[in-house]
């Protein structure tokens, strides 16, 4: 286990985290609503809500890779043979049968196939440890450490804080216990979807008034992140391929070649039932699971 003294002395700087972001920007879903470790903000009937959280550094657990977040990809869509809901092997930098199928559709040049590929695309999620600072809807969560799953919109806010656009803005490491900043999560309902554009970081300040004893106790309570990218969380390629073929109605049918994509387009246009609304990166995969059930 890492020592708290080392964390304070050698805490990750913005350049290190920025390099990590760049390294993972190329070719990872985690967290069920039944998993009490996870926290998600609640919204009112109008779809609006607000909470304040603090992103925490990498946990004090052996075997963690030193980053304060993990990235995962997943798929969730419906075909004539049911629902496909699974983690995507590209999280592990391995080949994924769904992504391969989507690439075939996209490269066909047929617009209808591209629309299908968009509906079946990977969903990007991040998981990090947070301290719930303010949760007006559920005050009992305040002061608790939780895992928080979020999408690209919020991760972009983190990236922007570390790499501000304008010269008069000071870079902030949101994961730093001493020089980080609270994140004001502001949720709006925009055209039927959760929108986080108004969310922002507050003025940098030390967490828990910079009390090292309290900060160390807090740090040691963080949850492991590595489990979300362990091999056991992902089904083998062949098993995913078999499920994909069943969902798409391809069982017993010869594999679709690039030359056959016109047939695929006709098949999908006529037969595949898809969700009316497009899958957004910040949507919860549990939405798909509830539909499947």
Return the HEC string of 222-289: CCCCHHHHCHHHCCCHHHHHHHHHHHHCCCCCCCCCHHHHHHHHHHHHHHCCCCCCCCCCCCCCHHHH
Q: What is the pLDDT of residues 42-62, one digit of tens each?
A: 999 999 999 999 999 999 888
Tokens at residue 192, please? 């039927």
Q: Is the pLDDT of residue 278 over 50?
A: no
Residue 267, pLDDT score: 32
Q: What is the pLDDT of residues 252-264, one digit of tens each?
A: 544 444 433 333 3
Q: Beta 69-79 vs 49-55: how paired, if at all?
A: unpaired
Q: Of the ranges 8-17, 143-152, 164-173, which is most confident?
A: 143-152
Whole-structure pTM value: 0.75
Q: What is the mean pLDDT of the chain?
A: 83
Residue 39, pLDDT score: 97
Residue 33, pLDDT score: 56
Classify 85 as helix, strand or coil: strand
Locate the domains of the chain by residue range. Answer: 4-292
Residue 254, pLDDT score: 47
Q: Is the pLDDT of residue 195 over 60?
A: yes
Q: Is the pLDDT of residue 206 over 60?
A: yes
Decide: 12 and 173 in contact? Cβ < 8 Å. Answer: yes
Decide: 30 and 138 in contact? Cβ < 8 Å. Answer: no
Q: Calculate mean pLDDT across residues 153-158.
A: 96
Residue 269, pLDDT score: 33
Residue 87, pLDDT score: 97
4-292 folds as: Replication Fork Single-Stranded DNA Binding Protein (3.90.198)
Classify 12 as helix, strand or coil: coil
Q: Is the pLDDT of residue 227 over 70?
A: yes
Q: Is the pLDDT of residue 74 over 70?
A: yes
Decide: 174 and 149 in contact? Cβ < 8 Å. Answer: no
Q: Is the pLDDT of residue 91 over 90?
A: yes
Residue 4, pLDDT score: 73
């Amino acid at each position: 286990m890492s020592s708290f003294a080392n964390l304070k002395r050698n805490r990750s700087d913005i350049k290190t985290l920025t390099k990590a972001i760049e390294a993972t920007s190329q070719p990872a879903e985690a967290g069920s609503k039944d998993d009490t470790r996870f926290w998600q903000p609640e919204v009112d009937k109008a779809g609006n809500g607000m909470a304040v959280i603090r992103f925490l550094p990498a946990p004090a657990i052996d075997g963690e890779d030193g980053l304060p977040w993990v990235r995962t990809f997943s798929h969730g869509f419906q075909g004539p043979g049911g629902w496909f809901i699974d983690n995507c092997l590209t999280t592990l930098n391995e080949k994924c049968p769904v992504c391969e199928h989507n690439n075939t559709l996209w490269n066909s040049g047929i617009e209808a196939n591209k629309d299908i590929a968009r509906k079946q695309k990977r969903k990007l999620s991040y998981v990090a440890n947070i301290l719930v600072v303010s949760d007006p809807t559920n005050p009992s969560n305040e002061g608790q450490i939780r895992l928080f799953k979020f999408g690209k919109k919020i991760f972009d806010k983190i990236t922007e804080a570390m790499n501000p656009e304008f010269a008069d803005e000071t870079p902030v490491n949101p994961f730093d216990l001493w020089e980080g900043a609270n994140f004001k999560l502001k949720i709006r309902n925009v055209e039927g979807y959760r929108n986080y554009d108004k969310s922002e970081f507050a003025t940098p300040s030390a967490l828990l008034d910079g009390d090292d004893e309290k900060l160390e106790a807090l740090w040691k309570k963080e949850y492991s992140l590595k489990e979300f990218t362990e091999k056991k969380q992902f089904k083998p390629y062949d098993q995913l391929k078999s499920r994909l073929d069943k969902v798409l109605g391809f069982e017993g049918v010869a594999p679709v070649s690039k030359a056959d994509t016109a047939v695929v387009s006709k098949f999908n246009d006529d037969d595949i039932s898809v969700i009316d609304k497009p899958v957004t990166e910040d949507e919860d995969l549990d939405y798909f699971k509830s539909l499947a059930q």
